[in-house]
Structure 1
Amino acid sequence: MKRDDALWKGILEDLFDDFLRFFFNNADEIFDMNRPFEFLDKELEQLFPTSEDEFFPKYVDKLVKVFTKEGSEQWILVHIEVQGAKDKTFAQRMYTYHYRIWDKYQKPITAFAILTDSNKHFYPTFFEQELLGTKIRYDFNAYKVLFQNEKDLDQIDNPFAMVILTVLTALQKGKVSNEELFNLKINLAKRLLSKNITKEKIRGLMNFLKLYVRFGNDEFISKFDKEVDVITNKPVKTMGIEEFVLDRERRVGLKKGIEIANKKKDTIFVKNLLEKTDFNDQQIADIANVTLEFIAKIRKNK
């Protein structure tokens, strides 16, 4: 699954109150929901500078300042792994986040790891280290999306449950056909619209569903958009011949621009793989999702 860092960061900010209620049954008794949440992305980035290396792993993480009903501050670290693969260093990284944040702020921390991968054997919940009588154990909240029950989630009256249902739907990609994935996605959209959720949150959730669950070809993307327009009773805009011609030219130009941009990105990516790895042409073709002819052309022009 491709990384969806921006999507996760956005939906967490849109639904952070629902996130708290999803994981804490008595959230409204613990947290002061009337006081604004403060998302400390810049502060977190100072503690964990991002690498400019394209091959260096990237993670989705949020640090949020939340006030309790008692008036004291709580620092909540939400660490979301969207890379669908086992990571042996994950628990250690969670521990590293904890001690660096504690060292800077000296405030209580509760940490969450939301695991969105498809590996049923990957389920880290703690980090432990012991040597000659000295022992450290760091436990954190871990939530494995793969293990959740769709029917149970559908019964939960919380918008964040729809986020988890969206990830469960995305995990079906590659296991079902585009037509089946389309039906799953439309069904989830209908269920979302039937919920008692504010328009602002529905808009955020619908965008998350639209962009997070990806089809294998453009035909189903257009088909999904049209079907959503129908079920949301969005009026169909008619256009005259002038508008039609301009719209067609705009779409043709946009498509060509996207094709050129994608080809340029593929070229850079393949060049990096050729220069920085020992992968053979077939392995690179599989990773970059390009043809062997494309790779041969780049080798020739190096």
Structure 2
Amino acid sequence: MKRDDSLWKAILEDVFDDFLRFFIAEADSLFAMDKGFEFLDKELEQLFPTNPDDLAPRYVDKLVRVFLQTGGEQWILIHIEVQGNSDPTFASRMFHYYSRINDKYNHPIAAFAILTDGNKLFKPTQYKQQCLGTTLQYTFNSYKVLEQDPVKLAESNNPFAQVILTAWTAIHHKRRKTDALLEEKISLAKHLLGKQYAKPKIRALMNFLKLYVRFGDTIKDRIFEERLDQLTNQLPQTMGIEEFVIARAHQQGLAEGEKKALDLMIRALIRETDFSDDKIAGMAGVPVERVARLRKKRS
């Protein structure tokens, strides 16, 4: 859990502009992106000091000062919580964070909860308290990774969508055999290399993928690293990964390992989604008959 916490904290800083664009459609017109962002982690720790001897679970939290396009020094605060288990006190904790942050800064606060647990029934969106005619209600943005469409995430050009896709894969890995997870992780790496992102973001996203989706098997870790090295060494500098794979397929046909990887991905989509054969075929870049054949074998 501590490693996951560190990974989330790092990736949120590496692609924070993309986080804003992912959740707020008008982010570029609303925020002065060129002014950068101020991460207030130390200030947040001072507001919520921890006891080194306390064995209670830690939480991923970020507080960021974001400047507005309105000019001058106008700014708001973005509070982010990444929650990995179905804690019944989570909504209450979100409110207490809001209350203390508001007391210290007296500035508008937008709060986002990213829920990375596997419990379909856990989706807190508000904290409410009532007493003798007095009512308090605090509502925050709540985003459940488990509910997301992996195809739409893969199609998105926003780097933060690839972070969510990685987290979605990690949530589902307990249902899959290690071999299947290995091929899915390799497919994610191929997909990521095909995106036209800046190199620092590619590097940050790839590190997140490598460390966040885990096998618990050193042999599989080594195989993944070897396959990743092959991909990065074979990829021409002027060609995206998808174009490279298609060109090579036309020249010499798909290698047996690539056929297996595609079949595993297709089977995962058949198993985990209600997509039609046509949609899955379009995503995988294969004839619809191939999808239908794999679906028939499953039934």
TM-score (norm 2): 0.76
- Is contact 1:172-1:181 (8 Å) kept? no
TM alignment of 1:200-279, pairs within 5 A: 200-233=200-233
Name the SS for the 1:70 alignment partner. Answer: coil
Name the % identity: 55
- The residue number in structure 1 matching 2:16 is 16
Name the SS for the 1:69 alignment partner. Answer: coil
Structure 1: give runs of 5+ residues left out of the alignment: 236-302
- The residue number in structure 1 matching 2:5 is 5
- The residue number in structure 1 matching 2:78 is 76
Give the distance between the partners of 2:143 and 2:78, measured in 1 at CA.
15
Give the distance between the partners of 2:5 and 2:193, measured in 1 at CA.
25
Structure 2: give runs of 5+ residues left out of the alignment: 236-299
Give the Å deviation of 1:165.
Answer: 0.4
1:187 maps onto 2:187 in alignment: yes
What do residues 114-151 of structure 1 show as CA deviations (whole Å, max 9, x unaligned)? 00000000000000000100000000000000000001
Amino acid at match of 2:70: E
Q: In the superposition, relative to structure 1, how do residues 3 and 200 fare at CA in structure 2: closer, same or farther (>3 Å)?
A: closer
Name the SS for the 1:229 alignment partner. Answer: helix
Corresponding residue pairs, total: 233
Give the Å deviation of 1:2.
Answer: 6.9
Give the distance between the partners of 1:9 and 1:234, measured in 2 at CA.
32
- The residue number in structure 1 matching 2:197 is 197
Name the SS for the 1:138 alignment partner. Answer: strand
- The residue number in structure 1 matching 2:168 is 168
Give the distance between the partners of 1:173 and 1:216, measured in 2 at CA.
11
Give the root-mean-square deviation of aligned CA atoms. 1.4
Give the distance between the partners of 1:50 and 1:161, measured in 2 at CA.
32
Name the SS for the 1:232 alignment partner. Answer: helix
Give the distance between the partners of 1:206 and 1:114, measured in 2 at CA.
20
Give the distance between the partners of 2:127 and 2:147, measured in 1 at CA.
21
Amino acid at match of 2:194: S
Name the SS for the 1:174 alignment partner. Answer: helix
- The residue number in structure 2 matching 1:242 is none
Amino acid at match of 2:145: V
Q: Which stretches of structure 1, 4 residues or longer, exceed 4 Å deviation after superposition?
A: none
- The residue number in structure 2 matching 1:286 is none
TM-score (norm 1): 0.75
Give the distance between the partners of 1:99 and 1:128, measured in 2 at CA.
13
What do residues 75-117 of structure 1 show as CA deviations (whole Å, max 9, x unaligned)? 1111111x3x211000000000001000000000000000000
